[in-house]
């Protein structure tokens, strides 16, 4: 959906009594919400107990997901599993159907996630995973930036939406293996000159954590530009290879 279509869509959002943007049911009628209460209640939350660092449900002592994170990543949190009919429907309504305002409702759920105390104390800014400029023009907006802007109001920290750029288009990641995903995004992100990151704890924001390849590549770029520590927050999380 291009910018014009996204604008038409956001105007329609304001005018019409609406059905749920994810399931098409009438549950959201009568409220300002785009996603109905039935969908929210069916969201497949990540179960407890969780790894204190990466937030992945944990069965033993060793955490395979943590082993794949760069050492400067402090913590990762996500709201729910993807793919899943409801969770994927919500992400799709934001990302592919252009319901930008769904980000605000997703951010409410992301804001309720529990973090280690030091992350809450130190987090200096939210940085969304950027889209390449061409992709962002096609879509009309960056879904990760919309989530960061929603989350900013709850956390009371700034969202730095323009310090990280994606300077080459990358192949869509969907069909790639984890190793291919890492190679695909390696070096794809750049920090703008003059960004003041030195010593900061930055929280990267994305819609979905799949293998972490994209987030890790963003984190590396920020770390190499002076950020001291990174955390990640996403709405959806894919099952790691081991829990399939």
Residue 126 in the binding site for Zn ion (CB under 5 A): no
Q: Which of 54, 75, 125, 203 binds Zn ion (CB under 5 A)?
A: 54
Residue 21 in the binding site for Zn ion (CB under 5 A): no
Residue 8 in the binding site for Zn ion (CB under 5 A): no
Contact positions with Zn ion (CB under 5 A) in 78-107: none
Q: Which of 34, 36, 102, 219 binds Zn ion (CB under 5 A)?
A: 36
Range in contact with Zn ion (rule: CB under 5 A) among 37-45, 188-196, 202-210, 230-238? 37-45
Residue 51 in the binding site for Zn ion (CB under 5 A): yes
DSSP lists the bridge partners of residue 234 as 78, 206
Nearer to Zn ion, 91 or 163 (CB): 91
- The pair of structure tokens assigned to 145 is 């930036």
Residue 240 in the binding site for Zn ion (CB under 5 A): no
**Number of shown-chain residues binding Zn ion (CB under 5 A):** 12
Query: Using CB under 5 A as the criterion, which residues of the chain lie in contact with Zn ion when the complex forms?
Result: 20, 22-23, 25, 36, 39, 51, 53-54, 63, 65-66
């Amino acid at each position: 959906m291009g910018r014009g279509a996204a604008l038409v869509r956001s105007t329609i959002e304001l005018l019409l009594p609406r059905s749920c943007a994810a399931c098409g049911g009438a549950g959201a009628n009568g409220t300002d919400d785009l996603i109905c209460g039935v969908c929210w209640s069916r969201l497949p939350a990540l179960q407890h107990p969780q790894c204190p660092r990466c937030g992945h449900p944990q069965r033993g002592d060793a955490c395979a997901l943590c082993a794949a994170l760069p050492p400067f990543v402090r913590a990762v949190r996500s709201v729910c599993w993807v793919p899943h009919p409801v969770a994927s429907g919500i992400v799709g309504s934001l990302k592919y159907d252009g319901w930008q305002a769904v980000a605000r409702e997703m951010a409410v759920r992301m804001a309720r996630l529990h973090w280690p105390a030091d992350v809450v104390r130190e987090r200096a800014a939210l940085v969304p995973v950027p889209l390449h400029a061409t992709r962002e023009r096609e879509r009309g907006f960056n879904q990760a930036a919309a989530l960061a802007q929603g989350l900013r109001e709850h956390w009371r920290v700034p969202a730095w939406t323009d310090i990280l750029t994606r300077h080459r288009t990358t192949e869509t990641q969907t069909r790639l293996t984890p190793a291919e995903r890492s190679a695909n995004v390696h070096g794809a992100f750049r920090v703008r000159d003059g960004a003041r990151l030195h010593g900061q704890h930055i929280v990267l924001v994305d819609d979905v954590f799949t293998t972490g390849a994209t987030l890790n590549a963003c984190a590396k770029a920020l770390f190499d530009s002076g950020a001291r520590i990174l955390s990640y927050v996403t709405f959806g999380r894919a099952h790691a290879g081991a829990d399939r």
